[in-house]
Amino acid sequence: MSKQSGWKRWLVALAVLHGIIACAGFFAPYDPAEQDRDHPYLPPMKLHLVDSQGHFHARPFVYAAQLPDDALDPFEKSTAEPLPLHFFVTGARYRLLGLVPFRMHLFGAQKSRIYLLGSDAYGRDQLSRILYGGQISLLAGLLGAGLTLFLGVLIGAAAGYYGGWRDGLLMRAAELFVALPWLYLLFALRAFLPLSVSPVESFLLIVLVIALVGWARPARLVRGVVLSLKERDFVRAARAFGATDGYLLRRHILPGTSSVVLTQAAILVPQFVLAEMTLSFLGLGVPEPVPTWGSLLASLQQYSVLVSYWWMYVPALAIVPFFLGYLGLASALQRETGTEKIVRTTGGARW
């Protein structure tokens, strides 16, 4: 594996993963908010190719689940009725990529709903919720990281380049932001907001909060790089030739920080996804019935769910490939650009 293709492979893998989440409507068989009140906490259905009589079927199928007479728990498999999987079926309305109205889903079943990853307390399809939940969590992470880096580069470059009292002021502010007990401030903030915050508003709020918390660390990193860059010979030479501050920053200094910024981005995105999950887990995130990875895990706060329904943990597994992808990309980028030393010594944000 050449050095060059290392980070590209990670990038392709991430693009595929994000593509799946972006097209959640197509891959998810059902609407994530649709309740099936006869099937709460249904365990995942197994895909079969061989039926109970031993016959082979080319089309994969599942067995419907039923409650035993007069009981509410647990579900039993009813082998009487195989439910074959159908592909490219027409189902719940959704907008592909949030724009194009669409009704086609990758798969579905005709007679009854199928739950490949089980259902939650309201009989909502866990697979659909995980896919849709990723949209919010990942978007929050990406937007949050973008905003953070924008703020971080702006402040870090200003502090590093101008130095003096401006540097002192900005860096003390950064230290303050790192030291504040954010979680408690968030609780207080939520109490002041109007009661019913729509999902879009609370999503934007989360992104804003994540960015506000996060800018301090990248700002300090960028400042360090800028400090060393501005003393380099080529920068001094440019200045001697009469280059303005704006030109120097744009042309010589900021491009020099790009490797740090890119690597930071790859590290920050998963961190901010985790931040969103933390907020939603604590009920400060996007309200029901909109799913996010954090709110999907929130039901695990209940002891009974924790010990009874193992499939409620699955959303926690969903983040693993994404995190692996981002961290793999980050280390490949580090190797590529040789910024390893800087990043290693400064560590990440505290979430």
Residue ranges that bind other proteins, judged by CB under 8 A: 33, 35, 37, 40, 72-73, 93, 101, 121-123, 191, 195-196, 198, 283, 287-289, 302-305, 307-308
CB 33 to other proteins: min, Å: 7
The residue among 164 and 194 lying less far from other proteins, judged by its C-beta, is 194
The 10 Å CB-count burial string (b at 16+, else e) for 147-174 is bbbebbbebbbbbbbeeeeebeebbeeb
End-to-end CA distance of the chain, in Å?
34
Rounded to an integer, what distance in angstroms lies between the CA atom of residue 25 and that of residue 109? 16
Rounded to an integer, what distance in angstroms lies between the CA atom of residue 131 and that of residue 114? 16
Rounded to an integer, what distance in angstroms lies between the CA atom of residue 26 and that of residue 107? 9
CB 193 to other proteins: min, Å: 10
CB 304 to other proteins: min, Å: 3
CB 346 to other proteins: min, Å: 37
- Rounded to a whole number of angstroms, the CA Rg of the chain reads 25
CB 31 to other proteins: min, Å: 11
Closest CA to 79 of 50, 41, 108, 111: 50
Reported as type and span, the H/E element at residue 288 is none
CB 307 to other proteins: min, Å: 6
CB 312 to other proteins: min, Å: 12
CB 189 to other proteins: min, Å: 14
The residue among 278 and 337 lying less far from other proteins, judged by its C-beta, is 278
Side chain identity at 17, as an amino acid letter? L
Rounded to an integer, what distance in angstroms lies between the CA atom of residue 267 and that of residue 87? 37
| Contact criterion met (CB below 8 Å) for 28 and 128 | yes
The residue among 90 and 110 lying less far from other proteins, judged by its C-beta, is 90
According to DSSP, the β-strands at 56-66 and 100-108 are unpaired
CA 265 to chain centre: 13
The residue among 256 and 289 lying less far from other proteins, judged by its C-beta, is 289
The residue among 121 and 316 lying less far from other proteins, judged by its C-beta, is 121
How far, in Å, are 166, 173, 207, 210 from residue 157 at the CA level? 11, 15, 23, 21
The residue among 201 and 336 lying less far from other proteins, judged by its C-beta, is 201
Residue 56 — φ and ψ, nearest 5°?
Answer: -90, 140
CB 26 to other proteins: min, Å: 18
Rounded to an integer, what distance in angstroms lies between the CA atom of residue 298 and that of residue 111? 32
Side chain identity at 318, as an amino acid letter? A
Rounded to an integer, what distance in angstroms lies between the CA atom of residue 348 and that of residue 341? 14
The residue among 245 and 288 lying less far from other proteins, judged by its C-beta, is 288
The residue among 86 and 103 lying less far from other proteins, judged by its C-beta, is 103
The residue among 68 and 255 lying less far from other proteins, judged by its C-beta, is 68
